Structure 1
Amino acid sequence: MDEFLRWYFSRRPVLASTLGAEGYDHTLGDFSAAAFAEREREEARWLARLEAGETGDPIDRDLVISQLRGAVALAEWPDWRRDPAVYLSAVFTALFTPFQHRLRPEPELVAAAISRLAEVPGVLAACRANLDPELAAPLIVRRGLGQARTGRAFLTETVPGMVGDPDLRARLAEAAEPAAAAFDELVAFLDGFRCGGTWRMGERLYSRLLRERELLGYGAAELHEKGRAAWDELDGRMREVAVRVSGSPDWRAAMETLMDDHPGTLEGMRAEYEAETRRAREFVRERDLVTFPEGEECLVLPSAVYSRPVVAVAHYLAPPPLSSSRTGVFFVPYTPDHFTPEQVRQRLRTNSRAQMPSIAVHEAYPGHHWHLATLAANPHPVRKVFRTPYFTEGWGLYVEKLLHEQGYFGTPATELAHLDFRIFRAARIVVDTALHCGDMTTEEAETFMATKASLSPGTAQGEVSRYCAWPTQAPSYLTGAIEIERIRASYTGSLKSFHDRIAGSGGLPTGLAERALNGGGTPAG
């Protein structure tokens, strides 16, 4: 595993440094077509080697095998030929995250950033060279274009603005100018790029990823039906709760009314989320539901400028698990600067006061922040590196239900909002599988999300764009939560020990998480 991780990090230095590995923070890596092709060949060789061996921890081995099987499957769906985000996200992450985490003195951070800035023109040139007009889809390219347009301000204003020392700040801003010019060039390129590919993955590859990477025992068609069944069951429950909220079983109308009670500004939204995060932590501590990692802290901050065009919901940045830090960031979903007052109002409505308790629980306590701060203490390095959203996002939704059971959502309004988030995740299963299996258009998907969950039309559009760009991720929330609930039902220990053990074992595919909870078991064939 150590040898594998050294190879893995050498091919992904941005990820390595984000995880807290030392020695990778001065480079972005090789984004040439030759490098991507060679990495695909190496992944196939590593998979064959690990499948042939039986040494080491069997869960570690099966975790890496599942990730490699997913990578080998995706070689026929090369994102580096399809999606500008492969290149943009690497640049944004490499330059933003170190200053957010601050694991090293500021002069060292600036020196590393300047070294990486020098490589940005080459990375963006590789993006222009590698995008294939026959594979890239217009929707995905437009999504990348929106993100690329934030590049100049991000490099010349946002990143230098995170530096305290005036001289270092000036040096960084000066070094950013050639990289910013490269972003200008990429924006012009993407704006004129004509392509005719599809974002639809297709049922065969989608199902293969579910079975081989996520280790689920079923494919896209069955997952789709599970989503529809879950939606129907939740719809019935929400009708009952809606009567207590508004006197009518129309839960959509009840949620529309509840969403009118929201903070008045984006900063007001952030401040209220910060207060709700503190309340969630205290509730979990009082109920003794988990063991808190020593030194953990969750900051509540505005979302990064570069992420605002493509991420319309709250999200979380974990502490680097290969470091000693236990500080994570709950990012509140600010809007891009160009949004109209009505678009800002719609964003505030989808972060209403009835919804905030569920979101704070999911993102912070005992959701992502608690889980990933706990995971960072796991003694198995590969479990700190590889985690699947089918556990991590499943965990976030599982703990929402847990805190409902514990009485955290103490009013009919917050209970209805809690159920609304769950039915939203059921709708995601339905839409994501239907989109990628060719059973739904983007317009139909947007309508579904706006009418089967309480999303504004603008938020629904952003959600569907995300599903098109990130197949199989959207179903992970409810699918993983149901699996974790199933595992808990057969566990004979205390609730706290269940949480500490299964979440502390990593962010494993749920079948491996169940084996880890029960002492390891035998490796999969």
Structure 2
Amino acid sequence: MEEFLDWYLSENPIRAALLGADGYDRTLGDFSEAAYLARERAERDWLERLSAETPATPDDEIDRDLVVSHLRGALAEARWPEWRRDPAPYLGAIFGSMFTPFQQRLKPEAELVEAACARLGEVPGVLAACRKNLDPDLAAALLVRRGLDQARTARNFLTVTLPAEVADPGLRARLAEAAAPAADAFDELVGFLDGFEAHGTWRMGEELYSTLLREREMLGYGAAELHEKGLGAWDELDARMREVAARLGSGDWRAAMESLMDDHPPTPEAMREEYEAETKRARDFVAERGLVTFPEGEECLVQPSPEFQRPILAVASYLTPPPLTPSRTGVFFVPFTPAGFTEEQVRQRLRTNSRAQMPSISVHEAYPGHHWHLSWMAGNDRRARKIFRTPYFVEGWALYVEKLMQEQGYFDTPQTELAHLDCRIWRAARIVVDTALHCGDMSIEEAETFMTTKASLSPGTAAGEVSRYCAWPTQAPSYLTGGLEIERIRDDYDGDLRTFHDTIAGSGGLPLGLARKAVTG
């Protein structure tokens, strides 16, 4: 196992560095076709070797099964290779590796600049590999457009935003000088993607989708059953929301939500300030109720989303503390709009972050959601659990605690209760839409209409969300699917609530079958 983990980190140096492993912060890695194919062959060998092992302890068995589920998922996805279809693996690697170290500041500024300059020197080669590897017959136009929109932010990010993070004038100038050739390479990529004719599809198809649910997520069912679960959850939540809307004097919960969404912060910065205050309130509530044990030194910052993220992500997000370091500082990113958005587009973004919705979103992203879970989980001493996790647990946990906080009385008005249920029905709608999109049962236009009529998303946010589902199949259903599974594990747990939370969240971000084993044996 240790040999495999060392191999994995060496083959994925950006991920290794973002996890906090030493010695990986001066390279972007090898993005050539030969390297991708060699990694796939090695993964097959590792799967065979690890599957043949007999773990010595129950924890060793969970670690082994966690890694095996990852390898099975990676090999299944290799049949539909992202690196041939989508610019995202190349662009995400570059942006993440440049932005995150300055955000986390775990090393002296001079070392951060030295590492960034080394990586900037590799950017032209990575983007050349992107141009060479993209296959017109496999790449999808929608994915290429997403990459194009993101690539267009690169020059300003690399030459202006990134150097502005450096206080020392000499180091700042050095970083700006190193960024210039990388920015030129991005300009070349923008021209390439703008003229690229893509004839492939973003639809994953039911067979691969179901394989990932069974092999990687260990759920025991496929896309069709998951779709039905989403429809059933939506119906149940719809009935509950009509009851709450009636207490607000409305016979239509959508109309009630539309009214609530008109009460929002006036500007993006005001939105950030109000989220910061709500995050503190949520932490105080969790501490007073004794719902979890807080890790020593944890801190959750609330900041604007990075500019390179804004064209492709319309909702709040979270940056975890690097689990292979002692840091317990995470960042709750508030969804600012891209440069060039109209006044009306900004208003619509603010409406989907209304004051009634802020308590649920803050609970999800910060306390006791992502920030508490991932800062607490980082204390687990098993390296495999720090490196591999699934959104079906991580996002499932964040949705589980939204309901937990509702049970504890945190959403203490009909307005915040309705908004809490709206956040939940949005996740049910995600299950329906994601499965239907990738199984060929729904068009993009139908999906956007579903998200605006079956949840309370504005048209602009719905368009951004559906684009994300097209680009990231199986992720969108993870929220409610995982939340419901964690509730079932809690029902079978014999112990107090705080111990349950500390135990299951501290076990990692495991596939749900392994999480049950870690808690109940």
TM-score scaled to structure 1, two decimals? 0.98
State the distance in 1 between where 2:157 and 2:412 align. Answer: 41
**Matched residues in 1 for 2:270 and 2:519: separation?**
41
> In the TM superposition, what whole-angstrom CA distance separates every residue of 1:448-472 from its partner, at most 9, and x where no partner exists?
0010000000100000000000000
- Structure 1 residue aligned with 2:196: 193
Equivalent residue, structure 2, for 1:231: 234
Q: Which residue of 1 aligns with 2:35?
A: 35
Alignment partner, residue 208 of structure 1: 211
SS at 1:458 equivalent: helix
Matched residue, 1:430:
432
> Cα offset for 1:244?
1.0
| 1:137 matches 2:140 | yes
**1:454: which partner in 2?**
456
Taking the aligned partners of 1:75 and 1:367, their CA distance within structure 2 comes to: 32
Identity %: 75
Q: Which residue of 1 aligns with 2:81?
A: 78
Whole-angstrom distance in 1 between the partners of 2:413 and 2:172: 49
CA deviation string 1:386-430 (max 9, x = no partner):
000000000000000000000000000000000000000000000
Read off the aligned partner of 2:273 and give its amino acid letter: A
Report what 1:523 is aligned to: none
Answering whether residue 25 of structure 2 is matched by residue 22 of structure 1, we say no
Runs of 4+ in 1 over 3 A off after TM superposition: none
Kindly report which structure 2 residues correspond to 1:206-285, keeping only aligned pairs within 5 A, or say none.
206-245=209-248, 247-285=249-287
Structure 2 stretches lacking a partner, 5+ long: none
Structure 2 residue 317 is the aligned partner of structure 1 residue 307: no
Question: Residues 13 and 29 of structure 1 are in contact (CA less than 8 Å); yes or no, is this contact kept in structure 2?
Answer: yes
Q: 2:180 aligns with which of 160, 173, 177?
A: 177
Residue of structure 1 aligned with 2:358, choices 356, 359, 362: 356
State the shift of 1:322 in Å: 0.1
Q: Which runs of 5+ in 1 are unaligned?
A: 520-525
Tell me how far 1:34 sits from its aligned partner: 0.5
Matched AA of 2:47:
L
What is the aligned partner in structure 2 of residue 150 from structure 1? Answer: 153
Residue pair 1:358, 1:400 contacting (<8 A) in 2 also: yes
Matches of 2:2 and 2:154 in 1, distance apart? Answer: 36
Counterpart of 1:90 (choices 79, 89, 93) is: 93
What letter corresponds to residue 31 of structure 2 in structure 1?
F
Q: Partners of 1:348 and 1:119 in 2: how far apart?
A: 38
Is contact 1:43-1:72 (8 Å) kept?
Answer: yes
Residues 241 and 249, structure 1, Cα contact 8 Å, conserved in 2: no
TM-score, normalised via structure 2 length? 0.99
The alpha carbon displacement at 1:224 in A equals 0.1
Equivalent residue number for residue 102 of structure 1: 105
Deviations 1:306-333 (A, max 9, x none): 0000010000000000000000000000
Provide, for residues 153-183 of structure 1, a one-character-per-residue CA deviation record: whole Å limited to 9, x for no partner: 1100111111111111111001100000000
Deviations 1:219-277 (A, max 9, x none): 000000000000000000000000112x1220000000000000000000000000000
Partner of 1:44: 44
Distance 1:308 1:416 in 2: 28
Alignment match, 1:69: 72
Q: What's the offset of the Cα at 1:2?
A: 1.3
String of CA shifts for 1:109-156, please: whole Å, max 9, x gaps: 000000000000000000000000000000010011000000101100
Matched residue, 2:328: 326
The letter of the residue matching 1:49 is: R
Query: What is the distance in 1 between the residues matched to 2:96 and 2:250?
Result: 47
Match of 2:13 in 1: 13
> 2: distance between equivalents of 1:72 and 1:5?
17
Q: Distance in 2 between matches of 1:455 and 1:26?
A: 41
Deviation of 1:55 after TM superposition, in Å, equals 2.9
Match for residue 469 of structure 1? 471
- Equivalences for 1:414-425 in 2 at 5 Å? 414-425=416-427
Structural mapping, 1:281-292, within 5 Å: 281-292=283-294
Post-superposition offset of 1:518? 1.8
The residue type equivalent to 2:45 in the other structure is R
